[in-house]
Amino acid sequence: MFNKTEVLETVDMIEREHLDIRTITMGISLLPCVRENAQKTARCVYDTVCAKARDIVKVAQQLAGEYGIPIVNKRVSVTPVSLICAAFPQEAEKIGLALDKAAKELGIDFLGGYSALVHKGTAEYEQIFLESIPAVLAQTERVCSSVNVASSKSGINMDAVAQMGHIVKRTAELTKASDGLGCAKLVVFANAVEDNPFMAGAFHGTGESGTVINVGVSGPGVVKHALENVPNANLNDCAETIKRTAFKITRAGQLIAKEAAKRLHAEFGIVDLSLAPTPVMGDSVAHILEELGLEVVGTHGTTAALAMLNDAVKKGGVMASSHVGGLSGAFIPVSEDIGMIRAAEKGALCMDKLEAMTAVCSVGLDMIAIPGDTPAETISAIIADEAAIGMINNKTTAVRVIPVPGKTVGDTVEFGGLLGHAPILPVHTASSAKFVQRGGRIPAPIHSNKN
């Protein structure tokens, strides 16, 4: 049983501290949809997604009403599309358009999985598929794309890294009317996970069962508030406070995930423990770090504070859920976090510091606007650096940068909604072209040989 104080604590978390279920994401296998041509496959993809996820919005609304906790996003992830159109990669676009149509029909906000896994090598059909990404992201509204270019087990596919630099640039060019917004729907991963419920990097792995429900919780505001109550605690006690808070948040996620899976006739997959910020005041990961005692996020000490936060969130959450997965940790998307935006505006947060932060937290260089004239090779080199951090540290890392066409350092860009706004951050201008153009594969590290 619970007591009055606990009831009011939960109500305050929801009403004042932005506790919410960030996403219910249904993973759907598209492998049974493969037909002899693109048209028939696209039709089956549309029908399958619409049939399986038909009730996702309705059920999410019901659950939000019954349990009194907002469920912000309803999403779908699918089998990497490169696999289901391997026989006709030139027509991959048709599948992308069918997915967008299904997403609109269902009323979900994003659908992830226009993806390819090329961490060890790029097959010919995948090469063609990758080239289709910019046009699909430009023509669709809700389809998200991700490409895995590295893993701890196989090393870094530098040919794919080089290609992705150009694909990011091309995506920005094709969506320049909206300041390169297409790039906000494109993530380049190392060690991508197969059960991630968060966008833009969600896809439904081939090791998953047919239909799965994965849930992402959130609550940076709740963690910050809990820390406000222990202003003079030492860092042991701060970590304990974060753990206890993460436990409660995750339990709410576990409850919703189990119930959603039951009502949607799907398997319960995982709860993703991530602290995902939004541009709204009071929903910032940066402000948690500042609450721990940093004048502004990005200053010295930021990496240590973030490491502690990330670890405490995992420790608190792990016991609260029967299956933890996805990305699980603190997210640091610059344009989506009001504290990060302010720090970047003040010049306190730079690419190099962000890169260091990604070594100790969930994911990577996320939602960072960079000058539109950044060369493709520089973007590839940024991807390679992140992939190296992921590969060596056995963790997921990612790059989601937006080279905003026609804009440069000193300008700001507005993406709108949960994607937020950001100043353009400078990148190093010395060339990395020769390094990137060498191509090949950076071998897997020695410690990946565990067999």
Residues that bind other proteins in the complex, under the rule CB under 8 A: 1-2, 4, 6-11, 15, 61-62, 64-69, 248, 251-252, 254-255, 319
Q: Which is nearer to other proteins, 1 or 430 (CB)?
A: 1
Phi, psi at residue 350, to the nearest 5°? -120, 170
Neighbours of 447 (CB within 10 A): 9
Q: How far apart are CB 308 and other proteins at their closest, in Å?
A: 23
Q: Which is nearer to other proteins, 175 or 254 (CB)?
A: 254
Q: How far apart are CB 68 and other proteins at their closest, in Å?
A: 3
Q: How far apart are CB 311 and other proteins at their closest, in Å?
A: 21
CA distances from 258 to 13, 217, 321, 446 (A): 21, 13, 10, 40
Q: Which is nearer to other proteins, 153 or 251 (CB)?
A: 251
Q: Which is nearer to other proteins, 282 or 426 (CB)?
A: 282
d(CA 341, CA 338): 5
Q: How far apart are CB 281 and other proteins at their closest, in Å?
A: 20
Measuring CA to CA, which residue among 63, 71, 72, 68 is closest to residue 8?
68
Measuring CA to CA, which residue among 259, 209, 250 is closest to residue 66?
259
Q: Which is nearer to other proteins, 59 or 367 (CB)?
A: 59
Q: Which is nearer to other proteins, 271 or 424 (CB)?
A: 271
d(CA 142, CA 108): 8
Q: How far apart are CB 364 and other proteins at their closest, in Å?
A: 31
Q: How far apart are CB 69 and other proteins at their closest, in Å?
A: 6
Q: How far apart are CB 10 and other proteins at their closest, in Å?
A: 6
Orientation angle between helical segments 376-393 and 158-174, nearest 10 degrees: 130
Q: How far apart are CB 231 and other proteins at their closest, in Å?
A: 18
Measuring CA to CA, which residue among 212, 236, 191 is closest to residue 397?
191
Output b/e per residue, 345-371; b: 16+ Cβ within 10 A: eeebbebebbbebbbbbbbbbbbbbbb
Look up residue 292 and give its two tokens.
């721990």
CA distances from 281 to 42, 220, 310, 337, 423 (A): 41, 11, 21, 9, 18
Q: Which is nearer to other proteins, 171 or 254 (CB)?
A: 254
Cα-based angle 174, 431, 201 (whole degrees, multiple of 5): 45
Residue the block writes with tokens 């990404």: 133
Q: Which is nearer to other proteins, 9 or 411 (CB)?
A: 9
